[in-house]
Structure formats: structure tokens, C-alpha cells
Structure 1
Amino acid sequence: MASDASDLLNDVLRSQTESLTTLFGALAPADGVPKAETAVQWAQIAARMQSIWTEYQLEQLGKAKDNPPHYADPVKWIATAEAVFRQLPLASPQVQQDLWEEGIALANAVLGEYGLGPRGSEGRAEEPELPRHDRRFAAPEWRRQPFFALLHQLYLLVSEKVMGMVEASEGLEPARKAQLVFAARAVIDALSPANCPLTNPVALEKATETKGESLVRGFENMLDDLRKGQLTHTRTDAFVLGENIAVTPGKVIYETPLFQLIQYTPTTDKVLKTPLVIFPPWINRFYILDLNAKKSFVRWAVEQGITVFMVSWKSADASMAGLVWDDYIAAQIEAIDHVRERLRVPSVHTVGYCVAGTTLAATLAVLARKGEADKVASATFFTAQVDFEEAGDLKHFVDDQQIETVGKLSPEGYLDGRYLAATFNILRGNDLIWSYVEKNYLKGEDYPAFDLLHWNGDVTNLPACWHRDYLRDLYRDNRLVVADSLQACGAPIDLRRIATPVYIQAGREDHIAPPQSVWKLTHYLSGPWTFLLAGSGHIAGVVNPPSSGKYQYWTNDASPETLEDFVAGASEHPGSWWPHWRAWIGALDPAQVPARGKRRPGGRGDRVIEDAPGRYVATR
């Protein structure tokens, strides 16, 4: 199969370069250079690209014998597209007739704007008014020539019709239909004319301006990503841990084979007596909460007089193949106990982000079952789900076949983080895949220096056994909300035993943990809870410092039964929700203590392991 993919890519490349040579060689440039000279120039560009491709093939030849390529096999993508469109009534004579008639009408309308077709006598419109709009085709190059205007308008027409047929399909289970809609959208997005150099006028104009150099740079960018097995979003050398990201001062004060525990240095004379332990998701690096001084939740919390501890999970390797959910729950309890003992406090505040929040809910249930719930003074959940009935687009990647695939992709017992990164990218394909294909592959642009995108591409590996269990038991079977259906650390899990004060934050536009799914946590708690809806999504909805002045949040002091009731009676507040959370946590226990002794990690008599951010965050 790998050789089939290689042959297909080679054929595509040869076809593209030959077409580019013919196309540009046939055009006489404005500066009067003879066509023959232009043809030679583009033939040289094509030859360079062919040479680069040949070198890449030779480089990968030895690797391919032992390891399959990390990029998806194009043949499989073609099969996926066929499976999707095979279920649509495209072969129906009536459907074809309707599509043909609408296409002809659209072509007449578009060409008429350029003084062509039946409306040719009316003359060309000064500013062509096209019936369909999409930000992928917002550049003026898509409207300058009738060919490209008609091309993208027909694409948008067909897209609308296909998606309409998919959404109107009957006789399917809701989950299967939702999966089909998602797959159809992904295929249609991939087939956009903006994704091909020969049908993208912006890329063609860039190639003309640079005399083909943009195509060479873009091709090199693409091959670099194939080598890495991962789409690049930002300059890889722009950020260095501990230098311009993850720079809040602190020390690693504890370490296990699964995690390091970081304690941050206080910046105030007094701090809250009850410290805060943050559990970030192990599917990403913890420094999303410590990107830089302006965006860092960690730094801000320290400045608010909170003693902050951060768990830094180790990226999985073969030694972690046997890890299961129990190990992560036990790790959370171990971190809580270590902080309590270190600072000699009875309890800690906790934060769980995303999957670590899901696990924190299970941890609270385990502690409650064991009579140890008082170890946790409060629990804050950042965009975390416990009820996965409405878990969003990620559910489209969870069925028996896909869960089985996780095992095939994990021969050494851990799942390469690049596969998970690709999954999250597909959820927002136009934003996280195809826009970068256009900018960096087709136009050969340089990558930006963007810390959030750097973090997004800084992937971690996952223990395959636990990841399969997570997909099967939580996403597919939704067992966490069934009392005593799951157990961990020798204790059955019943979320209704959680009486700990809880703060729940959800993102209004979150596509990974939709707010209606996050809201459901409120249904399973026996203690007091506060729900807050933040503007934006899974990341920007959380990482929104007060200094940015961005977005807004909503609160509702009544007792709404549903998210709809919450929204209907909510009060909107401008800016960051962080101060609201700080007021909430301070009201639970306002007692303060001097920031001395072991409140200052690495001081006299305090043995520490290393400076923050530690080694684990840098392991691949």
C-alpha cells in the first residue's frame, strides 16, 4: 500500500509540474521576455521540483521498508470519498437534471457579470457581483477572471447540493448520519479548488511574481511535513521552553515515572492558605496555561496570591504501555497528597482541564467513596465533559473500527501524538489544514511565529491501552455517568457522591467540548456548583487574560435546569472571566499565610529536582 501511495504521489507531481510548465510557458510575460525563454524557465522549475521529489523518495526508501509513512495513504482517502458519495442519489436522472440546469443558470449569471454569455451585450460589470460567498475565495484574484469566478461558484453550488442531500438522507441511525455529514464535509473541503495550484489563482499569481520560486518553497515545505508526519503551523525554531514560553519561575519539587509536579515562586508577601493544583490534559503540553507573561494563567494566579502547583505529564513511551485510567486517577490523588503534606494543609483547590477534568471528576468520586473527599476544597473544570451523549464532532471518530485502529497504530503500546493532532485538525479542516496548505504549500509563504500554534503542534504520545478504554468506555458507551459502572483504584465511581464545591467553565463556541455537553456535569453533583459560559472556544475561551480585554462571559445566579434556561436568564460581562473565578475561590476560604518556607520552592533546606518547566514537558 505504501508503494501505491508513493506511485500516486509521483504521478500527481509529474502531472502538476508538466501542467505548470505548459501553462506558464504559454504565457508571454508583461516584461516582453520571449515565450521560449519563459518555457525554459518553467521547465527548470519543474526539473528542480522533480529532483527534490526524487531525493525525498530515495531518502525515505529505507525507512518505508521498516515503517509505514506517517501521512495518510491517498488511496484510503479516495476510498473514503467513494464510500461517502456512493450513499448519495447523485445517479438519479432528476438530481442530475436539476444540477445541470442550476449549473447552467449559475454559469450564465456569472459570465454575464463579465460581459460574456447571454448577457454579453450588457457589458462587463465594474465589480462582478457573484451569488455565493465563502472566505476561502475572498481574495480579489478569484473574481478578476471569469474562469476562476465560475470555477469557485460551481464548486460552492455542488457543495451546497451534496451537503443538502447528505443532511436529507433518511433511514440512518442518528449517530451514523452525523458521521456521514461530517465525512461529507471533510471530503468536500478537501476538494476545494483553493487546494490545488492549477485551480488557485492566488497561488498562480504568486508563482508568476516569484518566477516559480514560491512553488519550490511550498513543495519543500510539504516534503518537510511528510518527513515529520505532521502539518506545520508555525516556525519550529521560534519558541524555546523556559526562554519565551513556559517561563513563569518555579521548581520541579516532585517526580514519578508518569508526572512531574511544579511549584511556582510566589510574587506576593502573603498567599491563600489553601494552594491550587492544576491538572492539564495529557494529550497536550501543560504550558497552554503558561504561554507567555501576558497570556499565562499560571503567572496571573500567582500574582493573585495563590500558591500554584502544576502537573506536567510525561509523553508516553513503550515503558508506559500498560497504563490505564486508574494510573492517572492515582496520579492526581498522589499529587494532591504530596502538596498537602509539603505545605501541611488539610486540603487543596484543584483545576482539571479537558480530559484531565473528566479524570478529576472520577478522582473526586473515588475520594468520596473512600471517605477522603475533604482532601479537595474545591474543583474547577475547564471545558471538561463527564456525560458524552452530546460530545460534539469527536464522536465521529469513535466506533468499533476506529477503536480497533488505535491498536494497529500502537504496536509498541503507545499512540503517536501526531495521529491525535491530525484528528483535532480535521475537526476544523479549513482553518487548521487547508488554509495552511494554501499559504505554505501552494504560495510558499514563511511560517509565522505564533506561540499558540507552536503549542498546538507540540504533540504528546498517549498510552494506547488507556486511550482505547477512554474512547470505548466514555465516548462510545458513556459509562462514567452510570453509577458504579466503572471503577478505579479499587472503588466504584458514582459522580453523585461528589459534594465538593465545583466551578464549571464552558466555551460558547467550543467544538471539542460543546457547552451543552459540559453543562451536563451539573446533573450529577450533590454539592454546590457555579456554571460560567465564556466567549470563544476550547482554548481562547480558557486562555483569556484580563489584560487582553477580549471576549465576554455569562453568569446566572438563579437555579437554571438547562443550558437554555441558563442562557435565557444570564447576565453578560465584558472581558475575562478569571477575576470572577478568583473571587469565587477566595470566598471559599479567604485565610492567608506568609509566603515563606516551602511556599517558596528551592529555598534554604528545600530540596528540589530542577527549574521549571522541567524535563517531562520537553520529552517527545
Structure 2
Amino acid sequence: MPAQSTPAKLPGWEDFAAITDPFGIADSWRQSLQSWLTHPDQLGERYQQFATDWLAVNQQIWQRLCGITTGDAIPVIEHDERFHDPAWSTHPGFDALKEIYLLHTRALVDAIYASPGLDTKTAQRAAFWVKQWLDAVAPSNFFWTNPTAIDHALESNGESLRQGAANFARDLAAGDVLMVDPHAFTLGRDLATTPGEVVLRNELLELIQYTPTTPQVRSMPVLIVAPWINKFYILDLKPRNSLVRYLVSQGFTVFVTSWKNPGPEARDTGFEDYLIKGVLAAVDTAREITGAEQIHAVGYCLGGTTLTSLMAWFAADAATTPPIAHWTLFTTLTDFSDPGEIGVFLSEAAVGFIEQGMAGKGYLDGREMARSFRMLRPNSLIWHYVVHSYLYGEALPAFDVLFWNMDATRMRAAMHSWYLRELYLGNHLAQGALTIAGRRLDLGSIRQPLYAVGCEQDHIAPWKQTFRTCGLVGGPVRYVLATSGHILGIINPPVDPPKRRYWVGDASGCSDAEQWRASIAKVPGSWWEDWTAWLHERCGEWRDAPAAAGSAGHPPLAAAPGCYVLEK
């Protein structure tokens, strides 16, 4: 008998949704709506509460129209700058707009989070995309419903509108809503000015060794592994807030990785290449130049995840002394079970969509990643600049951190796909299920002392998730929780009077982040001082500073900040 052919499988709803809705926007909304329709009693209670709030808002509107001053029925959140203009409270029309907008916004978002029977991740995804739309239609984003914009236009005789139109044309040509003047700074002149030399260059990175500024230095060097998703000079901005310059001034020999901005030719470069040809090569170079048996290594964000993987890779070879004596992590995830708000972009369908976009180019454009991160804080990172640039006609600021933030880098296709699947989707590093270069990575086998830093308002690497590393590694851990966010919590130089605060204490083997914080007193000042004291205890004896950078095996190749950081 002839073989019977298997009928082709017809594409179903899931296949269609993966193509048309890879980020699960419509599907999450559908599930939220369905959950309410199947619970009519709770839906009725929700409508009853909305009707009560609507009556309170209407009462406020009529009172303001009659000149009666009352408190807001729906109060503005303290730090919501959209409604800071006094007109939003004193002018009855603008006050009504504000209250009606806030009423509907909060009612809709609260209803999504309270959807009966809906799992947390789906509710978060649905609320995230609804808030994107709600933030976009805020009355403050339109000229005729923004009292400040109208005042600016009248006071400037229309000049603010003319300049706003010019700013809009500028951003249209740039293909983005600009946050900072792209010509405000020059690397090597205004930013990344700490003197040093490139002492290693390969297809992945340049390694910069910085010039000592003290007559003596600690014998053990400090190697900083910057994230390849960004350019390294966030660690060396202006002299007043440069972490690199601060470390050098404290008597440490500092090396920093500067990753190459890849093109299509690097599409097949993978995580193992970054680990062995990148970070391990930098470790070996720092040891060879300084003559140190071991070094101190620092990893920031994704650079920290890579460093953690390397530490576990070393630990898998029990017969060899690791070349890293102790280590530091800045805002680093090693357990990706709850990656925070970025999780709304992560699913099997979404990663497949991203991979399709990378397939032709061989990389993910850094601007695409930057837009995703801006969407996590749309009011402060998108609509603020729309309003100030287009409605107020203001010039772009010259802000060093924003300049760095807009200086995006590309990500190699194979590397980025692996990272999303193995870590974000699979969480295989924390589970001990990764094998790299022939060795299985077990975080519990890492015994070297760790200094870990998380940031209280970090929306990219939530601090409670970074705290999980304390319970995963096998060595002693000193943990710091800094105030502020992913960047400003780390770029936190000592100032007088102290600008920020932090919690710090032993967290070895701890798994409960809130319990740890409750047992620790908040300290005023910069954690940089606590960290350098910790380093001084461990980084060896003092010795005369070297007269020149590099060595016979690794001669200087170029002055800092090097060549790779300049590539666009």
C-alpha cells in the first residue's frame, strides 16, 4: 500500500497571534476583559466604585466652576510633573481635564491588575501596554490642553511654536525623540577624559589601563567588565562623577573593557566568545601587565552576569587557583525568574520576533533596545521630551548621562538570541543548567568574597532580584542597596553634604531581601567610600606606581578612550 501522507497542520490562533501580536498586547487585553466578563458580581462592584468616584469628580468640577476651592477627588501623584503648573488646579477647565483623565486612567489600570483569576504576568503585560496608550493621550501632551505651552506661546509671541516645529523636524530627521544634544560632548575632551592607554585589542574589545595618580598603588589591579549593551564611559563621565577617576585617585590600578560596536560580520559571535576571548583575555592581560597572581574583578549589569558566569567557570576546575581573588557586581541579575518590567517584552513569541529582525542584519540595533527601555518610563523618558521640545520649544539639555544613554551600541545576533533564551526565558544560569566551554556552571561553587550593589529604584535590574545572588553563591557577600536607579545609583560620587543614602551589611546566604533591609540602618553618603575601604583590605600591599602603561607583551596601542568607543 502506498504510504499515507500526514495532513498538514493548519495554523491555529496561537500561530496567528505569534505573527501579528508577538508581544501579547491584544491577547493580554482579551484575557483581562474575559476574566471580568466571567465574574459579573465583581465587575458590578468595580462599576459601582467607578460611579462613586465619578460623582466625586463631578462635584469637584462644579465647585471649582463656582469658585469654591476644594481638595482633588483624584489627587495627583507627588512626582508627576505633567500637572505641576498651578493652572491644573486654579483654572476650572484644566482642573476638570486633569481629574477626568486621572479618574479614567487609574480606574482602567487598577481594574486590569485586579482582574479576577488572571495570572500576575499577564496582568502586568496588559497594564503595561494600556499605560503606554494612556500616557500618550494625557492632556499635557497637546498644545491646546497644556496651560504651560499656551503661556509660553503667548509670552514669546509664537516663537516657542516656531522653535517647537524646528525641533520636531530635527527629531523627524533623526528618527527618534532626542533627549540630549547629540553634539554636546566630545569623547576624550569632555567625557571619558581620565588618562590611560589601550593595552589589548581584539575582535571583541579594547582593554584600557588607566594612568596612576598616586605615587604608590595596590599590588592587585581592579578590572571592570562593562556591559556590552552600552559604551563603557558611563564609568568615566566628567571628572567629578567618574568612577574610574575616583578609583585611580584611591591608589588602584584600573583596567576597563571597551566592547566593539559590532556589524553584520559578527553575527555568529556567541556568549562563549565573550567569556573566553573577551573577559578571560582581559583578566590574563591585567595579570601579565601588573605581575599579579590574582586580580579583583567588577561587573556592571550584563557585564556582571558575564563575570558571574566566568567565576562559576573557574570554580568548575577545582584543581586550579582562580585568577580572580574577589569580585564586585553592580546591578546584576543572575536569577532571571523575575526580571522586572522588562519582562513585558519577553516571551517565546517575542524572542522569535526579535530573532527574525536580527536575521537579515546580523545584529540588534541599539536604538531598538534603547526605545524599549524608554518605554518602561514613558512619561519621563519620552513624553517629557515631546512636551519640552515641541510644545515649549526648548533647546535640548547638555546632560552627560543622557548623552551616554543615546550613544547606543549594537548586539550580535547569536549572542543576543542566546542571552534572551538561556537566561531570560530559561533562567538556566541560576538553575545550574548551563555548560560553557566544556564546564557546567554552578553558582553555589563560587567561594570568593563578593561585594554586590543593587539600586532601590532600578527598573532594569530590580534590587530584590539582584539580591537573590546572595543566596546563590557559596562565598561571603557584602550587599549594598543604594538609593536612586540603575545608573545614578551607581554613578554616586561622594559629595558634601551627602546627596544620597544606602544600606550596607553582610548578606551571605540570605534570600529574603526585605528582611535584610529591615535589619540594616540607612547610611548617609556614597557607598563608593565603603567599597574602596573593602577593596583596600583585600587588594594587597602598596608598591611604587608603574612609570608607564602596558608591558613588553602588551604595549600601548592608543590613548584612552580608545577607538572602539568612537564607532557608531
TM-score, normalising length: structure 2: 0.88
Q: 2:201 aligns with which of 244, 250, 255?
A: 255
Q: Where does residue 85 of structure 2 map in the other structure?
A: 139
Give 1:604 deviation, angstroms. Answer: 10
- Residue 320 (structure 1) aligned with residue 239 (structure 2): no
Q: Is the 8 A contact 1:317 1:413 kept in 2?
A: yes
The aligned runs of 1:217-616 (5 Å cut-off) are 217-330=163-276, 331-370=278-317, 371-410=319-358, 411-483=360-432, 485-547=433-495, 549-557=498-506, 560-597=510-547, 600-601=548-549, 607-616=555-564
Q: 1:130 aligns with which of 72, 76, 87?
A: 72
Give 1:100 deviation, angstroms. Answer: 5.6
Q: What's the CA shift string for 1:214-233, capped at 9, x where partnerless?
A: 23322332332233233211
Rounded to whole Å, the distance in 1 between the matches of 2:286 and 2:553 is: 17
Comparing 227-236 with 412-421, which one deviates more in the overlay? Answer: 227-236
For 1:109, the aligned partner's letter is Q
Rounded to whole Å, the distance in 2 between the matches of 1:81 and 1:150 is: 31
For 2:294, the aligned partner's letter is S
Q: Is the 8 A contact 1:380 1:502 kept in 2?
A: yes
Aligned residues: 533
The SS at the match of 2:116 is coil
Structure 1 residues 252 and 401: CA distance shift in structure 2, 3 A: same
The SS at the match of 1:158 is helix
Give 1:372 deviation, angstroms. Answer: 4.1
Q: What's the CA shift string for 1:161-220, capped at 9, x where partnerless?
A: 101210111233332222122222222222211112232222222223333332332233
Q: Where does residue 151 of structure 2 map in the other structure?
A: 205
TM-score, normalising length: structure 1: 0.81
Task: State the percentage of identical aligned residues.
Answer: 36
Structure 1 residues 350 and 98: CA distance shift in structure 2, 3 A: closer
Structure 1: 5+ residue stretches without partners = 1-74, 116-123
Structure 1 residues 281 and 603: CA distance shift in structure 2, 3 A: closer
Structure 1 residues 603 and 527: CA distance shift in structure 2, 3 A: closer
Q: Which has the larger radius of gyration?
A: 1
The aligned runs of 1:154-169 (5 Å cut-off) are 154-169=100-115
Q: Is the 8 A contact 2:334 2:469 kept in 1?
A: yes
Q: Is the 8 A contact 2:32 2:123 kept in 1?
A: no
- Residue 109 (structure 1) aligned with residue 63 (structure 2): no
The aligned runs of 1:188-203 (5 Å cut-off) are 188-203=134-149
The aligned runs of 1:70-89 (5 Å cut-off) are 84=29, 87-88=32-33
Structure 2: 5+ residue stretches without partners = 1-19
Structure 1 residues 595 and 391: CA distance shift in structure 2, 3 A: same
For 1:562, the aligned partner's letter is D
The SS at the match of 1:478 is coil
Q: Is the 8 A contact 2:295 2:325 kept in 1?
A: yes
Rounded to whole Å, the distance in 1 between the matches of 2:480 and 2:366 is: 31
Rounded to whole Å, the distance in 2 between the matches of 1:211 and 1:143 is: 25
Rounded to whole Å, the distance in 2 between the matches of 1:164 and 1:603 is: 62
Q: Is the 8 A contact 2:299 2:307 kept in 1?
A: yes
Give 1:393 deviation, angstroms. Answer: 0.5
Comparing 243-252 with 556-565, which one deviates more in the overlay? Answer: 556-565
Q: What's the CA shift string for 1:60-84, capped at 9, x where partnerless?
A: xxxxxxxxxxxxxxx999x958973
Structure 1 residues 108 and 193: CA distance shift in structure 2, 3 A: same
For 2:63, the aligned partner's letter is G
Q: What's the CA shift string for 1:292-326, capped at 9, x where partnerless?
A: 11101100000000000010011121121111111
Structure 1 residues 166 and 606: CA distance shift in structure 2, 3 A: closer
RCO higher in structure (CA 8 A, sep ≥6) = 2
The SS at the match of 2:296 is strand
What value does the CA root-mean-square deviation take over the aligned residues?
A: 2.5
The SS at the match of 1:374 is coil
Comparing 91-100 with 214-223, which one deviates more in the overlay? Answer: 91-100
Q: Where does residue 52 of structure 1 map in the other structure?
A: none
